[in-house]
Chains A and B, each alone.
Chain A
Amino acid sequence: MLSRVTNILIKEFIQLWRDKWGRFLLVFPPVLQLLLFGYAATFEVHHVSTAVLDLDHTQESRELIARFTSSNRLNIVERAQSQDEINAAIDRSTAAVALVVHAGFANLLRKGQEAPLQVLVDGTNSNTALIALGYINTIAAQFSLNYATELAERTLGIVGMEQARIQVTVASRPWYNPDLNGRWFFVPGVIATVTLVMLVNLTAFAVVREREVGTLEQIMVSPIRPAEFILGKTVPFFVVGLGIVGLVTIVGIFWFRIPFVGNPLVFILGTTLYLLSLLALGLLISTVCSTQHQAFSTNFFVLNPLFILSGFSFPISSMPDVLQWFTCINPLRYYLIVIRGTFLKGIGVGVLWPDLLAMAAIAAVLLTASILRFRKSLE
């Protein structure tokens, strides 16, 4: 049995290596993708393009606008002269946010009445808009507070009024990622998804190609058993998968400087189970399809939901219940917990065992299904 499996193994390795594209595809794209997507995927908002319009021209209005200008969160791209220019800037998307100080602003302020600061936000990207509004509200609240204290001291003679100073402050402690760096969250995720896309497709084509080219008949007449055949098909891709994960993890740690605080053995265990479940998925696709084109379509059909509904970027807890249940059969979901957990949190098997178990179960079920399917397709 062992020699039969090794023969298949050698054949698969030769086949993988002989293909010029195949060789190129195994090394180059994972690294390139990680570099690209590692930089691209972030929800952080740093330089919100902002247009300002000051129709008041007073000391107060200038002071207020200076506060916004000096913030490194906002990037003043335009100093407009009229409301029309402001509207055009938002329309053309040259500015995502516009601040308008209307005439009479300082007058109202001095009287202690509510002076409006008009803020226009382009809501097409709701996430950016939400975060930008948060920045603006914080800056405006600081300005308000300062002005109110000054005004109270000047006009009401309240100096050092203890009761008015009572405040509960928030001391925030962002664990595992103290600078709230988006890259720390996404780079481990990209490692997982790049592996998903590459490996499932490679494996899915493995059996289908034999069938389409007609070499499957030859294998069928040989004394090899279905389980041996599947094993011989799986191991090379498993090795390839380990190589991909190893390569991109090194890039993640040394290039992106993502901290790895966990136990490498737990990471390797999780990766092994993840790769097995991906291989099993690819093999299953391989056994239910009769042409490469079908396998390809099926891949697109399956991979995109796995990628989107995994918690890679969109929180699972915000999804409707039905879709949350669906994520329970998604190996990427569990691997993301494992990879982020070992990279950033440094948690071990004690916490991660349900996720590891889930991946093992998915791999076992899919592998069994594909062996059964394969046996049936032989008959």
Chain B
Amino acid sequence: MRIRRLKAIAVKELLHIRRDPRSLIIGLLMPFTQMFMFGYGVTLDLRHIPVCTFDREASQHSQALLKNFAASAYFAITRNVRTYPALVAAIDRADCKVAVVIPPDFSLRLTDIGTSPVQVILDATDDNTANIALGYALAVVSGYSSGVVLDALNRQGRELQQIRPMKVQSRVWFNEDLDSRNFIIPGLVAVVMALVGAQLTSLTISREWERGTMELLISTPVKPSELMIGKLAPYLALSWVDAAFCLAIAALWFGVPFRGTIFTLFVTTTLFLIVVLGIGYLLSVLIRSQIGASQIALLLTLLPATLLSGYVFPIDQMPSVVQDITYLVYSRYYVTIIKAIFLKGSDIPALAVPILYLLVYAAAVVVLAARAFRKNLG
């Protein structure tokens, strides 16, 4: 390996980057636009779920119950309907996600039998929203319910015996307010960097093949390993800048608590970038057409980085076959690492397992790229 040849390749690659300023600008803009868009756009917190009410009794009691819904920050009553078809239409059009139906004999049943059902209709096409909304609705109704009991006891003049045998004291670690932003944004850095990295290197070699300049490169004394390092070095520098932007936005703009050390962050991020850039390079060596390489790169990064990395969808809830497959998704390790560094303040020994996986990955990619290249030459 000669430094001179390495440098020549790196300079050549830099020229490519400079001649195509638009790709460079996109590469540098990616962290900003994506971090800001998703930092604000990606949230699982539910507030003001639109509710449709259908009060078939219209009594003091039923109105009091509905007032509890209106007072909750989780619900917003956007519609009051008087007929069942109107309710169906509101849910069908997705104007409302939840409909509360109070039966015509609501108060009567409460005084006579003691219990009365309230119907909560949910648009369950989005099961997660429906599930969480149902939880909130249960809380609102049981709050009203115990209010009724207290009233009844007081009216009878009975001395209130408050028996509250157990209380759940929950303490949430690492993300004390259960703010979904704190959990999503560190993972977002991993997703954005996986995309940026793939975008930077997936076409470098296939471009040379397609333009016919590969034969020229082959005829020079440059070795496959020199070509790889020379080609990747400028992009590593570029993606360091991108990663720094992303991380700074996460910590400073969105205020995600950063409890780890910069050193751990730097080491693991560099390792991840090497894997990402290396995979892109490997693809472009293997697939000689740019359209093929781009298509594969998109398929391997865009959706897997989001869906299989544990970024928002918990891996341990997936079927075990899919869980096994996620070990192939390199973003998975960095998502684990970066969340742990940000929220738990983990250091390198605590992260040994995912780091080891990334190291194995990096080694495999480098070896494969070198081998594939040799074959290609022949």
Contacts and interface: CB of A to CB of B under 8 A. Distances in A.
Nearest to B175: A123
A308 B42 contact: yes
A90 interface: yes
A296 B48 CA distance: 39
B202 A296 contact: yes
Contact of B122 (A40, A121, A175): A175
A136 B172 CA distance: 13
Contacts of B318: 39-40, 42
Contacts of A115: 165-167
Contacts of B42: 308, 314
B37 interface: yes
Contacts of A91: 344
Interface in B309-355: 312-314, 316-319, 321-322, 325-326, 339-340, 343-344
Contact of B308 (A40, A116, A152, A163): A40
Interface residues of B, number: 122
Interface residues of A, number: 119
Interface stretch (B125-133, B228-236, B260-268, B271-279): B125-133
Nearest to B148: A166
Interface string A225-236: 000000000000
Contacts of B116: 168-169
Nearest to A30: B299
B298 A299 contact: yes
Contacts of A19: 289, 291-292
A243 interface: no
Contacts of B37: 305, 308-309, 323, 326
Given A140-B168, A308-B41, A314-B43, A201 B117 contact: no
B134 A114 contact: no
A90 B170 contact: no
Contacts of B239: none
B45 interface: yes
Contacts of A109: 165-166
Given A178-B124, A300-B30, A173 B303 contact: no
A114 B202 contact: no
A251 interface: no
A124 B41 contact: no
A362 to B, nearest CB: 19
B376 interface: no
B243 interface: no
A315 B179 CA distance: 15
Interface string B179-194: 1101100000000000
Interface string A1-20: 00000000000000000010
Contacts of A123: 172-176, 178, 182-183, 343
Interface stretch (B5-13, B19-27, B218-226, B357-365): B19-27
Interface stretch (A265-273, A275-283, A287-295, A363-371): A287-295
A347 B294 contact: no
A296 to B, nearest CB: 5
B115 interface: yes
Nearest to B182: A126
A126 B167 contact: no
A114 B166 contact: yes
B171 interface: yes
Contacts, number: 370
Given A171-B117, A294-B23, A315-B46, A148 B165 contact: yes
A360 interface: no
A239 interface: no
B29 A119 contact: no
A65 interface: no
A143 B127 contact: no
A292 B92 CA distance: 43
Contacts of B209: none
Contacts of A308: 37-38, 41-42, 306
A197 B168 contact: no
Interface string B71-98: 0000000000000000001011110000
Interface stretch (B52-60, B149-157, B244-252): B149-157
A182 B42 CA distance: 18
Given A175-B123, A180-B131, A323-B40, A36 B322 contact: yes
B119 interface: yes
A82 interface: no
A294 B20 contact: yes
Contacts of A334: none
B41 to A, nearest CB: 5
Contacts of A118: 169, 171
6 contacts: A41-B307, A109-B165, A123-B172, A172-B137, A315-B43, A322-B40
Closest 4 CB pairs of A and B: A123-B175, A174-B124, A21-B292, A177-B124
Interface of A: 19, 21-22, 25, 29, 33, 36-37, 39-47, 49, 64, 90-91, 109, 112, 114-131, 133-134, 136-137, 140, 143-144, 147-148, 151-152, 156, 162-178, 180-182, 184-185, 193-194, 197-198, 201-202, 205, 209, 212-213, 289, 291-301, 303-305, 307-309, 313-315, 317-320, 322-323, 326, 337, 340, 344-345, 347, 351
